[in-house]
Chains A and B, each alone.
Chain A
């Protein structure tokens, strides 16, 4: 039986008349990396704040790490950590002092704090800069120290709100590796929010898509990939050395191919994944060579427009 570390039931948050989160039912398994996806203003951050006990839900309940988020919000924060979007540590304190303060707030004894800080700064590759002020760090370094700060209390679950927002490619890669290694080595459960599908694709086991406060999709990444690339809208883009009308006719005559269109140098074949081999054989038979073959990439917008339409 799967063990859930987060379970919400009809979790709702209203700001006046505006419904930020609408009857959210969500489970996060222990040890997984859950991607919480949605456009800006979809209610991701609000949900995360509620799950940390920082914002009180208008209705509904949620349990995090075995504690009720309203009745036991302080206890929730002993097992859960958050790295909020646009958050910051104290600029005039050093990396070490910042982590030390967080350790103190978690009632950790001095020796344990110091060991933990050195260990964590090592993990996030910031040991060299331990005694430099937080404000002097680059955005990527700040984010790494930020992740270290969430690990101080040795949490069971960490909420990372847009962890790679505003980072350069190297910084993004660092954070991605860090998240994966924390799960591997510390057995951590991670919930990360993002508005970028490819971002969560790289790290997450499962995703939930939120739009206007409503959960429109909950799916494992593998299933999602399959549905999105193997579904009825599947399209493969080919770049060939030579395209003849004969070839197009032959391709269209294949059973599994729905249609073929040509646009500039590219040939688009709408077919099921099972016929890819047959399509390429047909192309070769016509004396053409495949230079590139690429199934269509779906963007977040397309995915959730599809599910959003279905949900309505």
Chain B
């Protein structure tokens, strides 16, 4: 345990002192501050809107949770992708492991330091958002809203730490940092772009549709589209298949949880952003958590699996000449 804390302290100092962390943190603060500012605008125009619209952004796609969905994987993996293999390639690993510590201290210490850095990053960003908006709005969040913000922070940390542990897994699997950074970028691209395209392609292939399902009839006001019952049914089946496939995506899971917690039902493009009725359908925190316990469990399990895999692989890996 002493070894773990020593490694963690040193790694945390490294993280906080690194340009990488400062740039990511600065980038997050900048984007989030802009999002919060737009949220303030929205709340001022909708007097009964909740304080938490500074995070969810309502009708705007540019919001804290959208930023996290988009850049969360990069934030998490950036702090972990070279955790182990950088020490291997620079030759510090054998010096480190030449000390009387157990090998798991190294993985645990690095993981703890990365998690602490990400926790600082996300709570720091959220705190700064509140700090900017409270004076602008002239009111603070209520207790219920505050508890939602705390859940938002916690879920965000779990989500980011999941990506951290995946990044660390890459750093154990790949011998070179150039390989693990490619793994990380490919993973990010897959979940950010490829998976949704893939999901709709699969849905389209499984549920073929003929154009005859849509009846177009002309009238004086112009062409009218009328959907047949079959068409409507096929559309529903397609979207079910799509959303089922998307459920394997951690970003999708995170988005679902956060949308429910912050009270944007359906998320961007869904119900919540359709009109002013959106915030009237806000779930309570308990309702949101009850609806999402499986999602939260999925994120946590994913985190544990990635961490356990890197832990096992690192403990079994050989220190070879040159490490």
CB of A230 closer than 8 Å to a CB of B: no
Contact of A153 among B7, B14, B100, B102 (CB under 8 A): B100
Q: Which 7 A-B pairs have the closest CB atoms?
A: A45-B321, A105-B99, A88-B91, A77-B100, A84-B94, A54-B319, A87-B91
Please determine whether A54 and B94 come into contact, CB atoms closer than 8 angstroms.
yes
Please determine whether B92 and A46 come into contact, CB atoms closer than 8 angstroms.
no
Mask, A61-97, CB within 8 Å of B = 1, is 0000000000000110110011111111111100000
Mask, A37-52, CB within 8 Å of B = 1, is 0000000011001001
Please determine whether A77 and B99 come into contact, CB atoms closer than 8 angstroms.
yes
B residues in contact with A49, CB < 8 Å = 94, 319-321
Residue contacts A-B, CB under 8 angstroms, 21 given: A15-B318, A46-B321, A49-B94, A54-B97, A54-B319, A55-B319, A77-B99, A83-B95, A84-B91, A85-B321, A85-B322, A88-B95, A89-B95, A90-B92, A92-B14, A92-B17, A101-B10, A105-B7, A105-B99, A105-B101, A106-B99
Given the interface pairs A74-B102, A82-B98, A84-B98, the reply to whether A89 lies near B92 with Cβ below 8 Å is: yes
A residues in contact with B102, CB < 8 Å = 74
CB of A227 closer than 8 Å to a CB of B: no
CB of A149 closer than 8 Å to a CB of B: yes
CB of B3 closer than 8 Å to a CB of A: yes
Task: Report the Cα distance A81→B92, complex, angstroms.
Answer: 14
CB of A112 closer than 8 Å to a CB of B: no
CB of B2 closer than 8 Å to a CB of A: yes
B interface residues with partner A (beta carbon < 8 Å) = 2-3, 6-7, 10, 14, 17, 90-92, 94-102, 318-323
Please determine whether B100 and A74 come into contact, CB atoms closer than 8 angstroms.
yes
Please determine whether A107 and B322 come into contact, CB atoms closer than 8 angstroms.
no
Name the distance in Å between B3's Cβ and chain A's nearest Cβ: 6
Please determine whether A91 and B98 come into contact, CB atoms closer than 8 angstroms.
no
Closest to B6 in A: A104
Closest to B94 in A: A84
Closest to B101 in A: A105
Contact of B3 among A92, A105, A153 (CB under 8 A): A105
Please determine whether A106 and B95 come into contact, CB atoms closer than 8 angstroms.
no
A residues in contact with B17, CB < 8 Å = 92
Please determine whether A82 and B94 come into contact, CB atoms closer than 8 angstroms.
yes
Given contacts A55-B319, A84-B94, A105-B3, 13 further A-B contacts (CB under 8 A): A45-B322, A55-B318, A74-B101, A82-B98, A83-B95, A85-B321, A88-B95, A89-B92, A91-B90, A104-B6, A105-B99, A106-B99, A107-B100
CB of A102 closer than 8 Å to a CB of B: yes
Contact of B100 among A75, A86, A91 (CB under 8 A): A75
Please determine whether A88 and B92 come into contact, CB atoms closer than 8 angstroms.
yes
Please determine whether A153 and B99 come into contact, CB atoms closer than 8 angstroms.
yes
Closest to A79 in B: B100
Given the interface pairs A54-B98, A77-B98, A153-B99, the reply to whether A86 lies near B6 with Cβ below 8 Å is: no
Task: Report the Cα distance A56→B98, complex, angstroms.
Answer: 14
Task: Report the Cα distance A101→B3, complex, angstroms.
Answer: 11
A residues in contact with B318, CB < 8 Å = 15, 55-56
Task: Report the Cα distance A39→B215, complex, angstroms.
Answer: 82
Name the distance in Å between B176's Cβ and chain A's nearest Cβ: 15
Name the distance in Å between A203's Cβ and chain B's nearest Cβ: 22
A residues in contact with B323, CB < 8 Å = 84
B residues in contact with A81, CB < 8 Å = 98
Task: Report the Cα distance A104→B7, complex, angstroms.
Answer: 9
Most buried by B among A56, A84, A107, A149: A84
Closest to A134 in B: B92
A residues in contact with B319, CB < 8 Å = 49, 54-55
Closest to B96 in A: A105
Mask, A104-142, CB within 8 Å of B = 1, is 111100000000000000000000000000000000000
Contact of A87 among B3, B7, B94, B99 (CB under 8 A): B94
Name the distance in Å between A251's Cβ and chain B's nearest Cβ: 50
Task: Report the Cα distance A91→B92, complex, angstroms.
Answer: 9
Most buried by A among B92, B95, B101: B95
A residues in contact with B14, CB < 8 Å = 92
Task: Report the Cα distance A102→B321, complex, angstroms.
Answer: 21
Please determine whether B6 and A87 come into contact, CB atoms closer than 8 angstroms.
no
Please determine whether A87 and B92 come into contact, CB atoms closer than 8 angstroms.
yes
Please determine whether A52 and B92 come into contact, CB atoms closer than 8 angstroms.
no
Task: Report the Cα distance A77→B94, complex, angstroms.
Answer: 12
Name the distance in Å between B93's Cβ and chain A's nearest Cβ: 9
Task: Report the Cα distance A84→B97, complex, angstroms.
Answer: 11
Task: Report the Cα distance A106→B2, complex, angstroms.
Answer: 9
A residues in contact with B322, CB < 8 Å = 45, 85-86
Task: Report the Cα distance A193→B3, complex, angstroms.
Answer: 29
Please determine whether A149 and B91 come into contact, CB atoms closer than 8 angstroms.
no
Task: Report the Cα distance A81→B322, complex, angstroms.
Answer: 16
B residues in contact with A56, CB < 8 Å = 318
Please determine whether A88 and B90 come into contact, CB atoms closer than 8 angstroms.
yes
B residues in contact with A55, CB < 8 Å = 318-320
Closest to B9 in A: A104
Most buried by B among A46, A49, A102: A49
Please determine whether A86 and B91 come into contact, CB atoms closer than 8 angstroms.
yes
Most buried by B among A77, A88, A105: A105
Name the distance in Å between B17's Cβ and chain A's nearest Cβ: 8
Closest to B7 in A: A105
B residues in contact with A82, CB < 8 Å = 94-95, 98
Please determine whether A102 and B99 come into contact, CB atoms closer than 8 angstroms.
yes
Name the distance in Å between B323's Cβ and chain A's nearest Cβ: 8
